[in-house]
Amino acid sequence: MIQGDEHTHLARVLRLKPGAAVQLFDGQGRSAPGELSAVERRQSQVEVGDLSEAPERSWRLAALVATPKSKRARRLVEALTELGVDEITPLVTARSEAKPPRPEELRRWAVEACKQCWRDRLPTFGEPTTPEGAAARAAAGELGLLPDTLDAPPLKSVLPDTPQDLLFVIGPEGGFSGGERELLGQSLLPLSLCPTVLRIETAAQALVGAIGALWA
């Protein structure tokens, strides 16, 4: 039985009819094929096939990212979900201008992205953290990357050859304060993505894509 937003999407947006093939997933890596057997006013009925589970990647990627303004925040979450990021945590800094999205917004955007790209596993969402929190995580053992400066070495020269759990930190539109940058530089590896200044969501997507290519 499918109800709520998913029923609305199925019946009113996609306008599927009985007999249509659908794919169901639970957000934890499990999915199953299904056939729509009935579309009612408030719910739909689905005949569910055999359950399968997608293999987990051997390493985790966490994005600690300042929230961009307006609709760009949604696009950031959608893109990171599509690219396979395992954790998305809002970063609050001295120069942050936009408030972190509400947890229910983050999850809704991620679910929509998973449906679009056929990803079976939702990312997790951490409580908003600060540069101090990010630095503490890196100091405790997580490999941390800091794409925040144009005169730093390129990614390929700082990324290990062997994949491992990794976090990266991207600051707000106004950049990190001097103190924040100094603090993060003590436990994270500075790097340069390109010779131009990138928007928050552009930098995040470029970095995740490059990591995936180097560790493929």
- 43 and 91, same structural domain? no
- 46 and 26, same structural domain? yes
- 117 and 32, same structural domain? no
Q: What is the mean pLDDT of residues 81-101?
A: 97
Distance, in Å, from the CA atom of 7 to the CA atom of 15, rounded to the nearest integer, reads 10
- 103 and 197, same structural domain? yes
Residue 173: both structure tokens together: 């539109």
Q: What is the mean pLDDT of residues 94-110?
A: 95
Taking every pair of Cα atoms in the chain, the longest distance, rounded to a whole number of angstroms, is: 60
* Segments forming the whole domain that contains residue 10: 2-53
- Count: domains in the chain: 2
Q: What is the mean pLDDT of residues 203-214?
A: 96
- 140 and 41, same structural domain? no
Distance, in Å, from the CA atom of 122 to the CA atom of 86, rounded to the nearest integer, reads 8
**Other CB atoms within 10 Å distance of the CB of residue 182:** 11
Q: What pTM did the predictor assign?
A: 0.89
Phi, psi at 21, each rounded to 5°: -85, 140
Distance, in Å, from the CA atom of 170 to the CA atom of 173, rounded to the nearest integer, reads 10
Domain boundary residue among 31, 53, 75? 53
In this predicted structure, the answer to whether residue 19 has a pLDDT above a threshold of 80 is yes
- 69 and 43, same structural domain? no
- 80 and 35, same structural domain? no
Distance, in Å, from the CA atom of 143 to the CA atom of 115, rounded to the nearest integer, reads 30
Mean pLDDT of all residues belonging to the chain: 92
Where residue 73 sits, what CATH number does that domain have?
3.40.1280.10
Phi, psi at 91, each rounded to 5°: -110, 125
Q: What is the pLDDT of residue 189?
A: 96
- 126 and 40, same structural domain? no
Distance, in Å, from the CA atom of 170 to the CA atom of 149, rounded to the nearest integer, reads 11
- 182 and 93, same structural domain? yes
- 107 and 46, same structural domain? no
- 65 and 8, same structural domain? no
Percent of the chain surpassing pLDDT 90 = 67
Where residue 9 sits, what CATH number does that domain have?
2.40.240.20
In this predicted structure, the answer to whether residue 201 has a pLDDT above a threshold of 90 is yes
What are 115-163's pLDDT values in tens digits? Answer: 999 999 999 999 999 999 999 999 999 999 999 877 899 999 999 999 9
Query: What is the band of 10 on the pLDDT scale with cuts at 50, 70, 90?
Result: confident
- 122 and 139, same structural domain? yes
Handedness of CA 94, 98, 27, 119 (dihedral sign): negative
Least confident of 3-17, 31-45, 85-99, 199-213: 3-17
